Amino acid sequence: MRQLSLSDCLSLSIQCAEEAGNLILKANDQAKIAQMKSSSSDFATATDKACEELIVTKIKNSYPEHHIIGEESTALGTEITLTDSPTWIIDPIDGTTNFVHGFPFVAVCIGFSVKREIKVGVVYNPILKHLYFAKEGSGAYLNSTRLQASSCTDLSRSLLVSEWSYDRRRDHLACAQANFTNFLMHPCHGIRSTGSSALDLCLVAEGSVDGSWIFGLNIWDYAAASIIVKEANGVVMDVTGGPVDFLAKRVVAAGTRELALALCEKLVETPV
């Protein structure tokens, strides 16, 4: 068995992300045939599948004994389980709807977990050439620039980022609307949406926004980005204020614990 090195895992993640990013760039100017998944806003394309196959093959060549959780393989019926074993968590294209429409917030996401804790994260936007990455204990970076999350603690002075759920059922939309309304009425300075949960969290890491909350996630949407926030001295937690649960499909992130808890206090998970 190959000796485990987080530096090697980070290097492999970056290599995989950049090669998958090249596939995205090649397909970006072509007509894209999208297959609908769970709703009219949840797609998969041939490029999603090609990127995941590329990443999985390269990881298996280096670490054949490691587990892999991938968005596209899970869509085929693979059960999502996060164990103590070394596990790679892959979203080949976060923001597939953006990709289909040519909106430039698209990311390849690769996270690496040991004992259910994310140790390495890479989020790469090949269109904007933004490479976010982090390794436990080594800081977080955007290309060559070290990241520092916002120091904002006051919700009324914050800029937030969030997403509407892929689930378009009326109660889910009502919940999302209630949360957007709650924060705008508080008020905060504003709320933005990129269409990519991973890039939302990276914006928290770089301090461009102060906080974020997102419901309806899957583990591959936020595993890689979560350690980027943490290594930028930000905070990632569950909406209850406890530790983040990567199988709970929800996350709160902020530059400070005070702001993260303020977000948790106002969030609702059922329509008001």
E-only strand ranges, 37-114? 43-45, 67-70, 87-94, 107-114
Distance of CA 83 to the CA centre of its chain: 20
**Going by C-beta distance under 8 Å and a sequence separation of 6 or more, which residues neighbour residue 145?**
none
- Nearest alpha carbon to residue 13 among 72, 78, 77, 68: 68
Question: Could you confirm whether 221 is annotated as catalytic?
Answer: yes
Per annotation, catalytic residue among 163, 200, 221, 231:
221
- Tokens 């894209």 belong to 32
Per annotation, catalytic residue among 96, 97, 194, 256:
96
Per annotation, catalytic residue among 94, 206, 210, 231:
94
Contact, 192 vs 161, CB < 8 A?
A: yes
Per annotation, catalytic residue among 42, 48, 52, 71:
71
9's tokens? 């895992």
152's tokens? 């904002």
Question: Could you confirm whether 96 is annotated as catalytic?
Answer: yes
**Using H for helix, E for strand and C for coil, what is the string for 110-153?**
EEEEECCEEEEEEEEECCCCEEEEEECCCCEEECCEECCCCCCC
Question: Whole-angstrom Cα distance, residue 92 to residue 67?
Answer: 16
Question: Whole-angstrom Cα distance, residue 186 to residue 155?
Answer: 8
Per annotation, catalytic residue among 90, 93, 191, 219:
93
Per annotation, catalytic residue among 52, 91, 163, 231:
91
Angle formed at CA 17 by CA 11 and CA 22, multiple of 5 degrees: 130
Question: Could you confirm whether 91 is annotated as catalytic?
Answer: yes
Residues with catalytic roles: 71, 91, 93-94, 96, 221
